[in-house]
A and B are shown apart, each in its own frame.
Chain A
């Protein structure tokens, strides 16, 4: 993971790595570190001495599903903005990689030393400054079309036994169209193009709205996977050409030319997958990632662990184990930890965690950001 490198980044690096689309934040109050600079005169660079600039509004979203599907096994999906995947850690001092007052000394290798600052702060003050962790609120967007990613199949075409047809199960609140690409890569604005068009020209089909609907390519439209070796089917080439791309577009008239037609109002869900042969010799589709294109912004879908239960009605009884914050055991959990995506805390405990530890309570991975996700929405709120 890129975590260790981002952790050792100096805080004044963020301007270089800040996503381009975001407006540049105002320059930090603290001037850049230049000699003559005396660290001991400013022992603590964390809040409140140094407040990183506010996070631009709305880089993160989550989607709630109007008709949650049982096949997701209790996990809701999460959209993570592509551009923010590499969001830098602002400031990560050499904090004793442990919970407050943990008896054992922190493992030395776990946190790269925070060079000049940490040396100064550990010698001049008792308490190491807490890491700055973003704490954001999620914004809801609605996913108009959703493929069940564990329900994508390649089925042999009965009439053309050499050929395989794509089938999947989907939910859609509006009609739309779906395009099947093989060996396609992403272009600007979530458009896709196949690099093997001479073997298989991308084909589009309309779909109807509904819940848990099944889509299957018509007979004759399948692909003879014998053209490709298993090696090339089983991984994205150069990390960008995906063996199977299912491009689902909600609303609007169907474009059947196989070339994507973009408009800002288009809502897309794009599923990128690899194809493997299982031990019975059948082809299996494995989803690598799903992308959402919504109002001109691109998001990646991710699952949040621990979210599903809280979307159900909360009873007042004491047996709300599984919905409550793991720290106070009292409030409903509504804050997720990133990058591990454990939704496990209430916002108050998350705020106090921020200043006391940098580890996820569930998995102990370093916390890079916290996000409040309120799931009290019901379908009447939309």
Chain B
């Protein structure tokens, strides 16, 4: 059902994601639902998530691109802007969404969020507190979680 009348925009975006993937990011649509993407983001170098492969799911709602895609981490991650359910606190996924943004730009933004955690706008209060009171220790925990949950998968 979801594959009938798929807007050309989604087809084009999918083609471009597959033909010219962004560095460190892969996204491929599910076979039975072209609006559902399996995403993998490599942990950025120089970040506590380096070396990790993070799985996400991305869904394009019916209103897309007038509404933002729904994105969620499937891999456990220790990050002040990502909660234990994998939900992401990122303005462009909420009130700052614009139809000029695309799947690619959303995923690049999430990748950038991994490089630049923002504990001042937390989704996970405990992790944010940890980050602000003892950043070195929080980074160690994030590295540990990366090793435990995001490698060898």
Contacts and interface: CB of A to CB of B under 8 A. Distances in A.
Given A99-B68, A99-B97, 4 more contacts: A98-B95, A99-B98, A100-B67, A327-B100
A102 interface: yes
A310 interface: no
Interface in B1-36: 7-9, 12-13, 15
A53 B105 CA distance: 40
Nearest to A342: B100
A344 B65 CA distance: 14
Contacts of A318: 12, 15
B63 A101 contact: yes
A329 B94 contact: no
B12 A330 contact: yes
Nearest to A361: B100
A353 interface: yes
B12 A101 contact: no
Interface residues of A, number: 25
Nearest to A103: B94
A364 B93 CA distance: 14
20 contacts: A100-B66, A100-B67, A101-B67, A102-B68, A102-B94, A102-B95, A103-B68, A104-B94, A105-B95, A107-B95, A318-B12, A318-B15, A329-B9, A330-B8, A344-B100, A352-B66, A356-B66, A357-B99, A361-B99, A362-B98
Contacts of B7: 328
Contacts of A356: 66
Nearest to A357: B66
Which range contains the number of B residues in contact with the other chain? 20 to 34
**A interface, over-half SS:** loop
Contacts of A135: none
A141 B140 CA distance: 65
A102 to B, nearest CB: 5
Contacts of B97: 98-99, 102
B88 to A, nearest CB: 11
A329 to B, nearest CB: 5
B67 A328 contact: no
A326 B8 contact: no
A350 to B, nearest CB: 11
Contacts of B102: 329
B98 A328 contact: no
Interface in A337-377: 344, 352-353, 356-357, 359, 361-362, 364
Given A327-B65, A328-B7, A357-B66, A99 B12 contact: no
B100 A99 contact: no
**A99, A361, A362, A364 — which one has the most chain B CB atoms within 10 A of its CB?**
A99
Interface centre among A104, A326, A329 (most CB of B within 10 A): A329
B66 A99 contact: yes
Nearest to A321: B16
B98 to A, nearest CB: 5
A3 B98 CA distance: 21
A346 to B, nearest CB: 11
Nearest to A105: B95
Contacts of A107: 95
A356 B65 CA distance: 11
B9 A327 contact: yes
A362 B98 CA distance: 7
A353 B99 contact: yes
A264 B7 CA distance: 51
Contact of B63 (A100, A105, A329, A330): A100
A106 interface: yes
Contacts of A353: 66, 99
A300 B147 CA distance: 61
